Amino acid sequence: MSTELPDTTAEETTTTESTTTTGNTTTRPAEQEVTVPVLPAADWSNPLRDARDRRLPRIAGPSGLVIFGVTGDLSRKKLMPAVYDLANRGLLPPGFSLVGFARRDWEDQDFAQVVHDAVREHARTPFREEVWQQLVEGMRFIPGDFDDDTAFKQLRSAVEELDASRGTSGNYAFYLSVPPKFFPKVVRQLKKHGLAKAPGGSWRRAVIEKPFGRDLRSARELNTIVHDVFEPDQVFRIDHYLGKETVQNILALRFANQMYEPIWNRSYVDHVQITMAEDIGIGGRAGYYDGIGAARDVIQNHLLQLMALTAMEEPAAFDAESLLMEKLKVLRAVKLPEDIGAHTVRGQYAPAWQGGEQVRGYLEEDGIDPASTTDTYAAIKLNVDNRRWAGVPFYLRTGKRLGRRVTEIAVVFQRAPHSPFDSTATEELGQNAIVIRVQPDEGMTVRFGSKVPGTSMEIRDVTMDFAYGESFTESSPEAYERLILDVLLGDANLFPRHQEVEESWKILDPIEEHWATHGRPAQYASGSWGPGEADEMLARDGRSWRRP
C-alpha cells in the first residue's frame, strides 16, 4: 500500500468539513461545497494535496514484524495490542505479517490465541472481528531458542513464505523484546542466517528495547555487536517516553509558539523539576530490576531524554539528525555537582499501608536479595553548563511505590524582581511555574499570582489548565503504536541514537560509582514521596519538591 495521495488530473468538487475545538465544546461549521483547482500531483504548494503533509495519516508500506520474546510482559501488554490498534486504525498494510519467536511448543494457532487474548485484554481500540481476521492470516510462530540454527532457518523460510503469500516484499523489522544478555546472540543469528541484510529494494530493521547496557562500557560493547550486523540507520532503540504525545508536545510547545521561548532561560527560570513517580512496586520484575535500580531503569533514558527536550535549542529541522544534534549538545553540557553525595539521594521502599493495602518493602519482594542495595528511588541534581542554563539546576527524581503515579516537567520561575505590594499581600504567592503534565492527566498548567476578590490586596497562586481530554476529541495513541508505526515507516525522529545513550551513561556512571561505595539506600515508606534526605537535598538549595 502506498502513502501517496491519489493523483488527480481533473477538476473536482469536494466537500470539506473543518472542526473547531475550544475547551470541551466542538463546533462544526455547516458543510460547504468547495471547488478544488486542478493541480499536477507534484505540486507541493497545495496543502490539501501535499503527500508530505504531516497532518495526513501515515500508513506503513508492505512489511512484517518479527518479535523475539513474544511470551514476555512487554509483548503481551504493549506490543501485540499496539499492532492490533494500528491495524484497527487502518495504518498497517493489508498483508501485514506478525511472526512470534520463543521457546514454546506452540503452533501458529496457539500463538494467534495468545495474541488474541492480549489484544482483548490490553488493546486501546474496540475489537473488530474483520480487522482481527485479516491480521490473524499473517501470523506465524517459530518455536526455538536463540542458539537454535534450525529455528532461525525456519524463520527465514517463514519470512520468504510471507513475502510470497502476503506481499510483505522482504521488508521486516526484528523486535528484540528480550533480556539484554540475549541481544548479541539474536543479532548474530540474524546475520548468520542472512536475515539482517535486506534483499535488493527492501529493508531490514532491528528494534532494541532498553536497557542499552548497564554503564558506558557495556553500552559500547553492545553497540559494537549491533553495528557489526546492522548499519546505524537500521537500528531503532526504543525509549517509549519519546512516543508519548505529551513528550512530543514539548517541542510543539516550545518551538511552535512565541510566548514561552523568550522566558525559557536562566534570566527567568529558577530551576526545573522533572518527576516520574510510580505508585506500583517492582511486581514480577525482580530478575530484571535487582542490581539495575531506578536510576539505570529510568533516569538514564526517560528522564534524561525529557531533560534534553526541555533544555535543547531549536533544531534546524524536525528530523532525526537535527534533533540528535541538539539533544547531544545538552547532554554533553551536563555537569555533575562536585559533591555527588550531597546532591543525589537514593532510596528503597519500605513496608507500609498504601491505598488501604499493606504492601511489602523492596527487600521482602519475591526474588530480591534481602541485603540488596538496589535503589527504587533516585533523585539527582544536574547543571546544564551553557549560556541558556548556567546556574539553573535541573532536579530529576523517580521512584516506585510513591504517593501517586505522575510524570511531569515543572519549569519554575524566579520571583518578580520587585513588588509594589506590601509583603503581607504576597505572603501566599509562590513562584510562577509552567508544568507539562506528561501523564496521567495529560496537559499543561501555568501557575501565577492573582488578586483574591475583596477589598484588600491579597495575591495568591492560581492555575490555568490545558487538558488534552477537553481540547481534543481524538484520544492519544499509545506510545508503542506510534513507535512501531515509525519503525515500519523508517522514521527515526523519536528514537535515541547510540551517541545519546553513551552521553547519558557518562552522566550516570559517576553517580552509580559513588553510590556503590557509600552506604545503603535510605528507606522510605511505601505511599510516601520518597526519603526525607531528598527533601533535605532541595532544602539546602532553598527549594522544595512539588507535591503533584
Instruction: Give the nearest distance from C-beta 125 to ligand BG6 in angstroms.
Output: 18
- At 373, list the grid cell: 542495595
**What is the sign of the dihedral through the CA atoms of 225, 226, 227 and 228?**
positive
| 122 catalytically annotated | no
- The total number of residues shown for the chain amounts to 548
- Under rule CB under 6 A, how many of the chain's residues touch ligand BG6? 4
Q: Which is nearer to ligand BG6, 278 or 375 (CB)?
A: 278
DSSP one-letter code for 134: H
44 residue type, one letter? W
Q: Which is nearer to ligand BG6, 49 or 437 (CB)?
A: 437
**Nearest residue to ligand BG6 on Cβ basis:** 297
Asked if 298 touches ligand BG6 (CB under 6 A), the answer is: yes
Asked if 396 touches ligand BG6 (CB under 6 A), the answer is: no
Instruction: Give the nearest distance from C-beta 209 to ligand BG6 in angstroms.
Output: 9
Q: What is the C-alpha end-to-end distance of the chain, expressed in Å?
A: 46
Q: Which is nearer to ligand BG6, 297 or 509 (CB)?
A: 297
User: Exactly one of 297, 481, 509, 512 binds ligand BG6 (CB under 6 A); which one?
Assistant: 297
Asked if 436 touches ligand BG6 (CB under 6 A), the answer is: no
Instruction: Give the nearest distance from C-beta 320 to ligand BG6 in angstroms.
Output: 21
Cα separation, 320 vs 213, in Å, equals 22
Q: Which is nearer to ligand BG6, 169 or 273 (CB)?
A: 273
Q: Which is nearer to ligand BG6, 241 or 395 (CB)?
A: 241
Alpha helices by DSSP H, 410-519: 468-471, 479-489, 498-516
- 269-277 and 334-335: which strand pairing? unpaired
The residues near 52 (Cβ < 8 Å, ≥ 6 apart) are 44
| 502 touches 220 (CB < 8 A) | yes
Beta strand spans in 165-288 (E) = 172-176, 204-209, 235-238, 269-277
Q: Which is nearer to ligand BG6, 278 or 365 (CB)?
A: 278
Which uninterrupted H or E stretch holds 135?
A: helix 129-136
User: Exactly one of 278, 478, 481, 500 binds ligand BG6 (CB under 6 A); which one?
Assistant: 278
CA atoms within 13 A on the CB side of 187: 22
Mask 489-528, x = binds ligand BG6 (CB under 6 A)? Answer: ----------------------------------------
Site for ligand BG6 in 203-242 (CB under 6 A): 240
Instruction: Give the nearest distance from C-beta 524 to ligand BG6 in angstroms.
Output: 17
Instruction: Give the nearest distance from C-beta 429 to ligand BG6 in angstroms.
Output: 33
Cα–Cα–Cα angle for 473, 478, 483, rounded to 5 degrees:
125
Alpha helices by DSSP H, 58-173: 73-74, 80-88, 108-122, 129-136, 149-166
Catalytic residue among 302, 498, 514, 518: 302
The catalytic residue positions are 302
Q: Which residues of this protein are in contact with ligand BG6, per CB under 6 A?
A: 240, 278, 297-298
